[in-house]
Structure formats: structure tokens, C-alpha cells
Amino acid sequence: MKTIFYNGDFITLENNKADAILIENGIIKKVGTIEEIFNYKDSNTEIHDLEGKTMMPAFMDAHSHFSGVANNLLKVDLEDCENFDEIKSKLITFKKENNILDGEWIIACNYDHNKLQEKTHPKKEIIDSVLPNNPVLLQHKSGHSGVINSKGLEYLKIDENTKEINGGMIEKIDGKLTGYLEENAFIELQLKIPMPSIQNLIDAYRNAQEIYLKNGITTLQDGMTYKEMIPIYKKLIEDRILKIDLVSYIKINEKEKFMESFKEYFDQYKDNLKIGGYKIFLDGSPQARTAWMRTPYLDDTNYFGYGTMNENQLEKAVKTAYEDNMQILAHCNGDKAAEQYIDAIKSNKNNNDIRPVMIHAQLLGKDQIADLKKTGIIPSFFINHIYHLGDTHIKNFGFDRAKEICPVGTALKQGVIYTFHQDSPVISPNMFESIWCAVKRVTKNGVVLDEKEKISVLDAIKGVTINVAYQYFEEDKKGSIKEGKNADLIIIDKNPLKVKIDEIRDIKVLATFKDGKIVYKD
């Protein structure tokens, strides 16, 4: 089957001129002039007139949580809540509208204490006052902390005698539980909460996939996959749910469990799924004040945040990744966590090319970028934080430090390959917003964070396409419009290289193609 696209703009990200392209059997067969391409036309060729629209490589998701996006579709969304009363109202309404019985779990997501009028996390008593007979979990927007009410703590067997869990904090005031938890305590306890039915989850995954497709993404990531999700993954494969490529990163000490079920999926695609490597956490989030810093937070000269793995644990994890020849992704927000990761990669003696990735790299120091170049670490910047939480970072770190978050301009100048991500479901997977953030570097309050770190629109596009292909060891197959590569493409309503900067955020994806087949149409 042959398909020709013509009469539009083509952003190839290669040193080639495209007036038209030919696709055959899911592969970009020819890129060239209209005359050259139409020479290949026969009676079975489909012809698509772009009518002046723009075609470019499909987006590639450098880091998100596909399972998190799916699960959030089954939760109470607290994104718009401005105070505790609105949170309580949404919880009551959700229970009523969904006919949830007493004793059944209710999960809510996306509250942000920075945006609440109370400027603090709701405590368990707030939830108990409206849902005394249901175990309830409220997930902070960062995904690194949250609140569990009294019934939930009782279910999870957490009481005043329970100490921290794997370094994660369980907050107590005057010896009494508040219900607030951070990092590993919060993350690990979530795994003990009963899952929704398999069918409800599969429906949610199907809907989540459509969200990615609508945003022009044809390769996406599940950035932390636990053994508890193995039955769901099996069902996704059995029911042939995946239309696009999913790269999964597993908890490093659970690799044997995944090897039992997905041996043929390690480091290669099968059924559109690939086990891409291992994921570890080295700190928390700056907005939750758990990012691990070299310098203290602005209002407390003795508080630096904290790490979540000691040197021995990290050294063992890095050694395992290199010995297994599997990529390792490390969650690092603070510059101290970045330092710990860089040192661990430096000390490794194995020469395998695993392209280690530093996820988020928000507060990575400019002085640390040279070490990324030496070690081959790829920083995947959570660039959207500049707009969404830049003002919070100024409050937590002061302007001089906060302005340097996501120093992609410096990385570009020093020849370091970088990528961008939205960490969905933390932020919706809108790649054009990421491009805009990298170019504009402005907060919600209109504060520009370091003009010198701005990059061009073209370089920003690379951060969500061809550079991500390199991160995934797929640069020979994806990320640009080049002969021989997969026909993973999108049609958009405007050319981001030709519009004003502030118009980039509003560019719409009109169609998404995976291997030459249309998988989304506006």
C-alpha cells in the first residue's frame, strides 16, 4: 500500500527538502519534490492533499506514567479545588454519583496545597468529616505525597507506632497521625489499596491511549511499572489494546517477576510493548519541598530536602543496569540528587552504552552539565514547570536560583542531548505547551526565568521528537521524516516555525499516523 502526502509544509528535522513524501508498508519510502514523489504513483496509491497544513514527525513521550493517566480517569479530580470545602464537596458528590458503598475505597488526585487558600495539605480529619465510613486517599499533584483518612490508615494498618517506610515520612504531630505521607511511604502504601476491576482498568487504558493520540504521540512511556500491574499488561496484550508503542520501565528489584511473564519484551518491541529498562527515585519534588538540594530552601537554612536511596543502594542499582545492559532512569529533581546520580554513573566501570537518563533535572546545576556530557547521561527536563510552578519555585528557592531551572540552553551549548516531558498525569501530555515553555520561559505570573536559557522553536521540537528517539535507542527508526524510518507522523493546523511564539501553545493536532495508518483524526 502506497500513500502520498503533498501541498503542505513538512518539518523533517533532517537536512532534506520535502515538498511531498511517499509512504509504503508503514515506512517512509521517499522524500523529495512533488514530481519525484508522483513518479511512484500507481492505481493503488492513496493521495492526501494537505491543503497547506503542516506535517511533522509524531511526538515521542520521553517520560510519563501511562498507567497513572489511565488510573486517574477513575478518580476524583481535585485540580480546580481552591480550598478544603471544595475538596469535601467533590468527595461527597463523587460517592453519591458513583453509588459507592460504605467501606469501599475512594481515590482522589491532583490537589495542590500551593494553590489552596489554606496553603497546606488537608489532614485526615478534613476527609473524616464528610466520609467517615470510607477509606480515602488524596494524591498530591506531584505524585510524591498525599493524605489518607482514618479508615484508610486503619485498612493499611498504620498507627502511631508506625515509623517511616523505606525512608518515606509518615507525619505525626504531638505523636498523632495527621494522615499526610511523603515519598516512599506514600508510594508503597498505594500499592496495598485494592485495584478497580480489570475491565474498568482496561477501559481506562483505552481512553488514556486516546488522550495521547489526540496529542500526536505515537511512542509513550509507563515510567514506573510495578509487579502488581502484570495482570493488566497481560490483558492489554491479550485484548490488543495498544495501537501505539509503549515503553515500560520497571522497579529494579522486580525484574525477575517481569522476566517470567515478559521475557520476549525486554529491550525489544512485541505487541507494541517494550520493557525499556529500570526506574529508580533519588529524591522528591521541589513544589512539595522534598527535592534534594545542595543549598537550603529559602526560608529554612537547615533544610535541604532529602534523598531516597543511599550510595550503596544506588551503586548496586547502577551496577545491575550496566551488567544487564538495560537503560536506567533516575528521578532527580534537586541538584544534590543529580550529583549523587552523576557520581554513581562516573564510578561505574562497565562500558555498555545504556544511555542513562536523568528524569526531571529541574534544579540541575549549570556546573553539572559538563559531567552529563562526560558520562552520557541524558537530561529529560520537566520544562512545563517553568510555567505551571515557576512562581512556586521562586518562593521556595529565591529568584536567582529558581530562574535557572531546566537549563536547557546551557545543555544545548555544551552539546548535551536533552528531551522534554510532561510527567503525565501531573500535566496533560501537550507537547506544544512544552515547546512553548522551552522557547518562552515565562511563569504564570509573567516572570521570565533566564533569557539565556531560551532555545529556538526548532531545537525545542527536537526535544520531543528526534532527541527522544535517541533516548530510546530508536534514532534509526523514529523521530524525523527520513527515508527508511517508520511513518509515525502528525498533521497540524499551523506551522510552529512560522507562527508567533504565543500561538504555539494553541496548535492543534488534526491527524496522527502510526506506521502509516491513521490512529486519530480530529
CATH 3.20.20.140 boundaries in the chain: 282-455
CATH 3.10.310.70 boundaries in the chain: 75-190
CA–CA separation, 340 vs 365, rounded Å?
13
Q: Considering only 77-91, 179-193, 350-364, which range has the smallest mean pLDDT?
A: 179-193
Nine cell digits for residue 241: 489494546
pLDDT at res. 150: 95
Residue 253 in contact with residue 227, Cβ under 8 Å? no
DSSP 256-298: HHHHHHHGGGBTS-BTTEEEEEEEEE----TTTT-S--SS--T
pLDDT at res. 253: 92
Q: What is the 3-state secondary structure (H, E, C) of 64-85?
A: CEHHHHHHHCCCEECCCCCCHH
Looking at the predicted structure, is the pLDDT value of residue 290 above 90? yes
Looking at the predicted structure, is the pLDDT value of residue 162 above 90? no
Q: What is the mean pLDDT of residues 453-477?
A: 98
What is the number of other CB atoms lying within 10 angstroms of the CB of residue 27? 15
75-190 has which fold?
Diaminopimelate Epimerase; Chain A, domain 1 (3.10.310)
C-alpha closest to that of 98 among 58, 126, 144, 134: 134
Listed in sequence order, the residues at least 6 apart from 494 whose beta carbon sits closer than 8 Å to its beta carbon are 54, 503, 507
| Half-sphere exposure in the Cβ direction for 237 (13 Å, CA) | 17
pLDDT at res. 153: 94
Residue 463 in contact with residue 438, Cβ under 8 Å? yes
Looking at the predicted structure, is the pLDDT value of residue 168 above 90? no
pLDDT tens profile 333-356:
999 999 999 999 999 989 899 999
CA–CA separation, 278 vs 295, rounded Å?
29
pLDDT category, 16, cuts 50, 70, 90? confident
pLDDT category, 144, cuts 50, 70, 90? confident
CA–CA separation, 270 vs 267, rounded Å?
10
pLDDT category, 55, cuts 50, 70, 90? very high
pLDDT at res. 315: 97
Looking at the predicted structure, is the pLDDT value of residue 187 above 90? no
Query: Looking at the domain that runs over 282-455, which CATH code has it been given?
Result: 3.20.20.140
Looking at the predicted structure, is the pLDDT value of residue 188 above 90? no
In eight-state DSSP terms, residue 60 is E
CA–CA separation, 375 vs 185, rounded Å?
32
At residue 481, φ and ψ (nearest 5 deg) are: -95, 100
Give the rounded distance of the alpha carbon of 126 from its chain centre.
31
CA–CA separation, 90 vs 152, rounded Å?
18
pLDDT at res. 362: 97
pLDDT at res. 141: 87
Q: What is the mean pLDDT of the chain?
A: 95
